Chain A
Amino acid sequence: MNSNDSTECTLPLNPVVPFLRTERMPHIWCPGCGIGTTVNCFARAVMDCGIPLDELAIVSGIGCTGRVAGYLKLDSFHTTHGRAIPFATGLKLSNPKLHVVVYSGDGDLAGIGGNHFIHAARRNLDLTVILVNNFTYAMTGGQATPTAPKESIETTAPYGVFEEPFNLPHLAASSGAVYVARWTAYHVVQTKKAILEALQKKGFSFVEILAPCPTIYLRRNRLGGAVEELKYYKEHCVIQNGADTKDVGIDLRHQDKVTIGKFLDIEKKEYYDAYQEHYAGLLKGGKQAVAGA
């Protein structure tokens, strides 16, 4: 913080400020954008879980959510479009002590990065994947993502989307994830808790957060502003912890109910441990990193 700011501001410091690169503020997100809310939840989760900040790294892809990495005072890596997970994989395998978080959007992780997503889940590599789902490629101007609800208007779907949207929790769970949850930018307490649990979970953990994009998605679809969208979440979300993920597909405004909650929390052998075990006879000197180190 520079001295000018501290003279202007007499309010107590926001508790997440130590986690932010305040010199990079103001951030690029629009007023009402849900991404900032998720960052707040994330910072609070990090605070509570007590992981030393130098053992935590964040990797993101491209897009509005991809910019998260740039605002957190952590080792962070803003990668190419769709490839956050493979970069994170290399990072994690080279330094297994690091907690590696992948933080990106629906277009990035489920669109161009979809293949990497299912394979990381299949391997059950110890990554925490946070996906902010706002149903559009916002930064490139509002194209349809693989989660876009049917009939929504996007720049590449001027006559409305007709394709089926992904059920991301089911995709993650059926590909091999061990922790799967879905919350929204309205459910901040639960979102924080889910991120906290995901950080502590060993294996591939996945948290989907539905979030408003007032500038592109809501405006183009005439759905009002961020407040209306949060109200929609409040009124239509049904918390169903432990729900079978095959039943939690969403199609906003088409289907009345949006199922949210913690869907999966199971134990399974993690990739790096499996690796160590498999090659125990070959690896000299006990445990060591897979590559490098």
Chain B
Amino acid sequence: MPSDSGLASQERTIVNKVTVRFAGDSGDGMQLIGNLFATEAAWMGNDLATFPDYPAEIRAPIGTLNGVSGFQLQIGASDVYTPGDNPDVLVAMNPAALKVGLKGLKDGGIVLLNTSSLTERNLQKAGLTKEDLDRIKSSYRLYEVEITKLTQLAVNDLGLTPAQAERCKNFFALGLISWMFNRKIEPTIDWIKKKFAKNPAIMEANEKTLVAGYRYGENAEIFSAFPLYDIPRARMNPGLYTNLTGNQAIAYGLVAAAKQAGLELFLGSYPITPASEILHELAKLKHLNVVTFQAEDEIAGICSAIGASFAGMIAATSTSGPGLSLKQEALGLALMLEIPLVIVDVQRGGPSTGLPTKTEQSDLMQAIYGRHGEAPVVVLAAKNSADCFHMAYEAVRIATKYMIPVIVLSDSYLANGSEPFRIPSPNELPEIKVQLRTDPNGFYPYLRDPKTLARPWAIPGTPGLEHRIGGLEKDSLTGCVSYDADNHEKMVLTRQEKIARVQQDIPDVEVLGSPDSEVALVGWGSTFGAIAQSVDELNRSGIPVAQVHLSYLNPLPGNLGEVLKRFKKVIVPEINLGQLSRILRATYLIETIPFNRVLGVPIRAQEIVEFVHQVFEGVVA
């Protein structure tokens, strides 16, 4: 088994952070080795953030630019907020991956190229010439390795078909990269052993290839002068960590909340990219009494969840933008019924089918305002993959306490990206106290708790509590159908007031960075990491800025107006055309400076830094 191979760690060049991008065809297994490399780094105590970037098609055309599947991750010895702006290292399995992957690579960065793939046809498909390759050689540190051929050599005594042998080549690349950055390959070997337990030949082939890649780094002539890197362990809170994607974290957050509430969890959902994994993940958890229902469409998904909530389950539905649009009518019903419901919207590039696998923050308005009638709901947003757990949990807490629907916004970037998640113990999590009404004395379906305005959660089948709920306007006490004008106005105002009162139950915003500066960067959702990193960099370069991050979008935190008014300039970076910016202007009558990109990828910290410079220089006002 490869070890440090006698190299004392002082002979390694210590780096604080490194960003690696794996790129290949969608069938090349780049997502897999990216995730395994992340696990190796997590195992060695690094902080990390990942960003899988792949085509919408299951197997996009081989060798083409559109078919390139990428996986980028940043690992570090200190806080890692994002998967990195500009990779230090590119692993390119073919010319198309090289061409796509070079975009953004740091000047002088390391390129590991699979030269077995440099056929005339592949070069042509990627639109690369021999001269381009020469140019790449002079601008980057190019390592040309015949990965496919070396893989075949490594496994040639195992009796695999050439196609089977070739399929192991991603592990060669992983072995080599693990060697470069001194990451231990044990976790990967463990994974291979488990994964291919039923197929010993493939298990052995993958393991051999991985080790061959590692050894190749140790022994090959071209790497003799390679400065071996090391990334020390990061200081993180002690505890048990696991690597979770945002979608997994949502699933576990819902389970944890249901457990805490002492009720069972129901998820009614319909397949949609990039939210489907929430349903997949929960479908596996039957042993935790999770009920999953794959509905025939989006509408049936939410309607079944409303039914489950009526019956006293912690009910949720998960979707993406197009699905949220379809669910909006039923969401209005859930509000009218005043029952707890969690709707998870994993946002993607829109409108319509749009960019199903790409990220965007363009559903904020649809989440807050997207229904007919006066239909306010609570809206929360997760700031990173691990936070998806906490926001899903928080959504259940608020929904059950106030008897209202709560929307949780995530996005494609958080859903697929992963990071170390510290598994909390149940007593660290906020209390979720659910009281299903059983006492018929003085029961009125719409008699409210004076503080939260919540009505009692009385489930069908409880003796003496027979009642009807429905979509028609209801009498403010009995819940009977009422067309009375004054009653309608009272109910509209009450529903609004209920949402407003959630404000008493959510934390004030904190001001991070330089709180006394004149400029604040205000964001929500997945831009948190990029904004935090840019604020860090700006402050270190002598430009004082503050960061304000919003996890609660409706209602907004109670102190937000006062906080924002302290700043001369409020910059709002978003992956949309300025949706939060507009809300802040309308709510607090302040000037905002929107910074908007809609490229289907996360905003990079560097872009924000440059924008802030422009603001300081007066180029943008």
Contact = CB atoms under 8 A, between A and B. Distances in A.
A26 B276 contact: no
Contacts of B279: 143, 155-156
B272 interface: yes
A177 interface: no
A212 to B, nearest CB: 14
B271 A158 contact: no
A101 to B, nearest CB: 20
Contact of B59 (A30, A78, A159): A30
B372 interface: no
A155 B58 contact: no
Nearest to A30: B59
Interface stretch (A86-94, A107-115, A227-235, A277-285): A107-115
B57 A112 contact: no
B455 to A, nearest CB: 33
A216 B294 contact: no
B413 interface: no
Interface stretch (A48-56, A133-141, A200-208, A263-271): A133-141
B286 A159 contact: yes
A26 B296 contact: no
B100 interface: no
B353 interface: yes
Residue with the highest number of chain B CB atoms closer than 10 Å, among A67, A111, A112, A114: A112
B59 A81 contact: no
A146 interface: yes
Contacts of B62: 26
A29 B26 CA distance: 12
B61 A26 contact: yes
Contacts of B64: 26
A274 interface: no
B251 to A, nearest CB: 13
Given A112-B270, A157-B283, 14 more contacts: A26-B64, A28-B57, A64-B58, A81-B272, A112-B296, A112-B298, A114-B296, A137-B271, A143-B280, A144-B294, A156-B283, A159-B286, A215-B58, A215-B59
Q: Majority SS of interface residues in chain B?
A: loop
6 A-B pairs with least C-beta separation: A26-B61, A112-B297, A28-B57, A143-B271, A30-B59, A140-B271
B271 A107 contact: yes
A34 interface: no
A112 B299 CA distance: 9
A220 to B, nearest CB: 12
B483 to A, nearest CB: 31
A146 B292 CA distance: 16
Contact of A155 (B59, B276, B322): B276
Interface string B292-318: 101011100000000000000000000
A140 B294 contact: no
A138 B58 contact: yes
A216 B322 CA distance: 24
Interface in A108-126: 111-112, 114
Contacts of A111: 270, 296-297
Interface of A: 4, 26-30, 62, 64, 67, 78, 80-82, 107, 111-112, 114, 137-141, 143-144, 146, 155-159, 215-216
Contacts of B283: 155-158
Contacts of B298: 112
Interface of B: 56-62, 64, 124, 270-273, 276-277, 279-280, 283-284, 286, 292, 294, 296-298, 322, 352-353
A67 B273 CA distance: 16
A233 B270 CA distance: 30
A156 B294 contact: yes
15 contacts: A4-B124, A26-B64, A29-B59, A30-B59, A62-B353, A81-B322, A111-B270, A112-B298, A114-B297, A137-B271, A139-B56, A143-B271, A155-B276, A156-B280, A158-B280
Contacts of A82: 297
A82 B353 CA distance: 12
Contacts, number: 78
B352 A80 contact: yes
Contacts of A4: 124
B58 A30 contact: yes
A140 B56 CA distance: 9
A273 to B, nearest CB: 32
A59 to B, nearest CB: 14
Given A62-B353, A80-B322, A80-B352, A141 B294 contact: no
Contacts of A78: 353
B317 to A, nearest CB: 14
B292 A156 contact: yes
Nearest to B274: A140
A192 B284 CA distance: 41
Given A146-B296, A156-B294, A80 B271 contact: no
Nearest to A31: B59
A156 B267 CA distance: 12
A28 B272 contact: no
A78 B57 CA distance: 15
B212 to A, nearest CB: 26
A143 B283 CA distance: 11
B273 A140 contact: yes
A155 B292 CA distance: 12
Contacts of B271: 107, 137, 140-141, 143, 156
B57 A139 contact: yes
Given A80-B352, A81-B353, A28 B61 contact: yes
A263 B58 CA distance: 34
Nearest to B62: A26
B555 to A, nearest CB: 33
Given A80-B353, A216-B58, A143 B276 contact: yes
Contacts of B272: 81, 140
Contacts of B61: 26-28
A80 B298 CA distance: 13
Contacts of A140: 271-273, 276
A141 B296 contact: no
Contacts of B124: 4
A216 B279 CA distance: 17
A182 B243 CA distance: 47
Contacts of B59: 28-30, 215
A216 B57 CA distance: 12
Residue with the highest number of chain A CB atoms closer than 10 Å, among B124, B277, B279, B283: B283
Nearest to B273: A140
A90 to B, nearest CB: 17
Contacts of B353: 62, 78, 80-81
Given A28-B61, A139-B56, A155 B280 contact: yes
A142 B271 CA distance: 9
A114 B296 CA distance: 8
A10 B487 CA distance: 80
Contacts of A27: 61
A132 to B, nearest CB: 15
A219 B352 CA distance: 31
A112 B124 CA distance: 41
Contacts of B277: 141
A158 B294 CA distance: 12
